[in-house]
Structure 1
Amino acid sequence: MNAYGPPGAIPEPSVPPGAPLPASPDEAVARWRGLLAEAAPRHVLLEGFHALKHALRFGAVVPVALCTDRAGTLELAAELAPDLGEVLARLLVEVDAQAVSALVPRPHPTGVAALAERPAPAAVAAALRGERRTPVVVLDQPRHLGNAGAVVRLAAGFGASGVVTTGPLDPWHPTVVRGGAGLHFATAVAPLEVSELPGGPLFALDPEGADIRGLALPDDALLAFGSERHGLSAGLRARADQLVALPMRPQVSSYNLATSVGMALFHWASASGAAPA
């Protein structure tokens, strides 16, 4: 799917109406600073070649992309992403490493950085609330930004319809986007209250639940996971249709959040015809 729409070809690099792609280092840096200075910022930082690659493959609108070695980056694209060679050749602007360091808090070793527009709220809502053929992952009151990013990456790989979070953590925080490697554009990502969760049977992971190995998870399921320290909130537990437990050796207290999500999605995928081949 492309930016929460139907599958399709790689889109052309897209910029705001009337604004051509920057043609020089100075224009690119000015575009970057201007986008981040908007009163209501709607662009997210993509750090590194792989994040830019993933975002473009899934329909991200990228108005500016920088690199410190354009020829080397295009060689990398020819090796790892030949489908994006022409798009990247038009999009990338080479700037010196000092300029990138001034714009990006922690420059990536590949020397690539880009800004991408966050998907429109209507597209996110449609992906979450429309007819779904794959589950939505619900992170209930998560605390760790890196874990949330790893979950987005997992969900994208399994073709999940979305990842939603309850509580104060912003799933579009730069650290979460970094952990997701640009794959926020491959699955609908949004913060929601428990009362706002999309429809579908909700299976909440809990040590006291039924063994997941004896259950069939429907394609439109919500799969909910509690916080790393405190588990499920009372509100989410009350909303759950069934508590589900992962197999675990006695005296082992818990799995990492991303590990738990991966196990549950694999269990769903192993029995579903809607899972990626």
Structure 2
Amino acid sequence: MTDPVAAGLDPLGRWRRFAGDAVLLDGFHALKHAVRFGARVPVAVAVDRRAALALAEELAPDVRDTLDGLLTEVPEATYASLVPRPHPTAVAALAVRPTRAANLERLGRVPRAAPVVVLDHPRNLGNAGAVIRLAAGFGATGVVTTGTLDPWHPTVLRGGAGLHFATAVERVAVDELPAGPVFALDPEGDDLRGVKLPDDALLAFGSERSGLSVELRARADHLLALPMRPQVSSYNLATSVAMTLYHWSAYGSAPPGAPPVP
């Protein structure tokens, strides 16, 4: 969807108009996903428009016509001036970020059909982006972060490949977490393989360095541990989230013969 006022401006004029409030979609795949999941995209540019549309025809025919109406070809120097570092597809766009109120309303709806992923004081921007991409792929209700990391930071958006628009992404305090039982991953917890993860669960993950915060640990209803070989220190955050979401998606109830959650 384009802005009727900005529609008459040249690409640089439209970019400047929205750059202060919108978020950068860095590359073809980020634009593809954002459009596919209903993002409002007021401006999109490409160094080679025909090549970008050919890529859409091959990989995303469902949004090809929409991209045809959005993409404006610009010189390579103009494109490079709009992005922190050029993407191999030489495509960039701006998208309007969903409001905090809309995200919180979506996260707070009950009953939920899928869990919310909670990243407790995450540190690595790329890992946060990878988690958002995973959560979108598994159909999670959303991803919330606690602490200082901005889950809409440009580096997180790049790692998420535009899939922030496929799920609800927001930063909250621990006392603002959505309703639902909190299953927090911790080395001292019960083996995940014997536990049922309900659809309305909040699946909480601490940072790789320091684990769960005191506040999140106190909020947890259950502590769970991933299976891990002795003397291996930890899994990457995104790997831990993937294993846990897969377990939720594969087992609507605890596996036969597994011990129940205490």
SS class of match (1:238): helix
Supply the distance in 2 between the matched residues of 1:207 and 1:20 (Cα, whole angstroms): 53
Q: Quick check: 1:51–1:182 contact (8 Å CA) kept in 2?
A: yes
User: How does 1:12-51 map onto structure 2 within 5 Å?
Assistant: 14-16=1-3, 18-19=4-5, 21=7, 27-36=10-19, 41-51=20-30
Kindly report which structure 2 residues correspond to 1:55-66, keeping only aligned pairs within 5 A, or say none: 55-66=34-45
Deviation string, structure 1 residues 14-51 (Cα, Å, up to 9, x no partner): 123x32535xxx70111101222xxxx32100011000
Q: Describe the SS at the equivalent of 1:248.
A: coil
Report deviation, 1:228: 1.7
One-letter identity of the residue aligned with 2:75: D
**Counterpart residue type for residue 167 of structure 1:** G
For 1:48 and 1:169, locate their aligned partners in 2 and report how far apart those are by CA, in whole Å. Answer: 23
Is residue 183–residue 203 contact of structure 2 (8 Å, CA) maintained in 1?
yes
| Contact 2:190 2:223 survives alignment (8 Å) | yes
Does structure 2 retain, via aligned residues, the 8 Å contact 1:138–1:223? yes
Question: Which of the residues 186, 194, 203 maps onto 2:166?
Answer: 186
**Does the CA-based 8 Å contact 1:21-1:91 persist in structure 2?**
no
Cα deviations by residue, 1:228-247 (Å, 9 ceiling, x for unpaired): 20000000000000100000
Q: Which of the residues 118, 131, 154 maps onto 1:174?
A: 154
Per the alignment, residue 64 of structure 2 pairs with 85
1:128 aligns with 2:107: yes
Q: Secondary structure at the match of 2:7?
A: coil
Counterpart Cα distance in 1 of 2:100 and 2:223: 30
Give the equivalent residue in structure 1 for 2:49. 70
Cα shift at 1:107 = 1.3
The residue number in structure 2 matching 1:144 is: 124
Distance 1:179 1:272 in 2: 29
Counterpart-to-counterpart distance in 2, 1:265 and 1:201: 15
> Secondary structure of the residue that 2:241 maps to in structure 1?
helix
Count how many residue pairs are aligned between Structure 1 and Structure 2. Answer: 252
How far, CA to CA, are the matches of 1:34 and 1:89 in structure 2? Answer: 21
**2:63 & 2:170 partners in 1: Cα distance?**
27
Note if contact 1:143-1:227 (Cα within 8 Å) is conserved in structure 2.
yes
1:228 & 1:211 partners in 2: Cα distance?
19
Tell me the CA shift for residue 122 of structure 1: 2.5
> Match of 1:246?
226
User: How far apart, CA to CA, are the structure 2 residues paired with 1:271 and 1:202?
Assistant: 18
Aligned CA-pair RMSD: 1.2
Contact preservation (8 Å) 2:7, 2:14? no
Partners of 1:102 and 1:215 in 2: how far apart?
51
Match of 2:73 in 1: 94
Give the gaps of 5 or more residues in structure 1: 1-13
Structure 2 residue runs without a partner (length 5+):
254-262
On the 8 A contact 2:144/2:172 being kept in 1, the answer is yes
Q: Distance in 1 between matches of 2:113 and 2:214?
A: 28
Identity across aligned pairs (percent)? 65
- 1:226 pairs with one of 206, 216, 220: 206
Q: What is residue 259 of structure 2 aligned with on the other side? A: none
**Alpha-carbon distance in 1 for matches of 2:186, 2:88:** 39
Q: Secondary structure at the match of 1:21?
A: helix
Deviation at 1:123, TM superposition (A): 1.8
CA distance in 2, matches of 1:96, 1:253: 49
Aligned counterparts of 1:128 and 1:270: Cα–Cα separation in 2: 23
| Aligned counterpart, 2:248 | 268
Q: Secondary structure at the match of 2:187?
A: strand
SS in 1 for 2:180: coil
1:229 aligned partner, one-letter code: R
Q: How does 1:112-123 map to 2 (within 5 A)?
A: 112-123=91-102
Cα distance in structure 2, aligned partners of 1:136 and 1:42: 26
Q: Name the aligned partner's letter for residue 117 of structure 2.
A: V
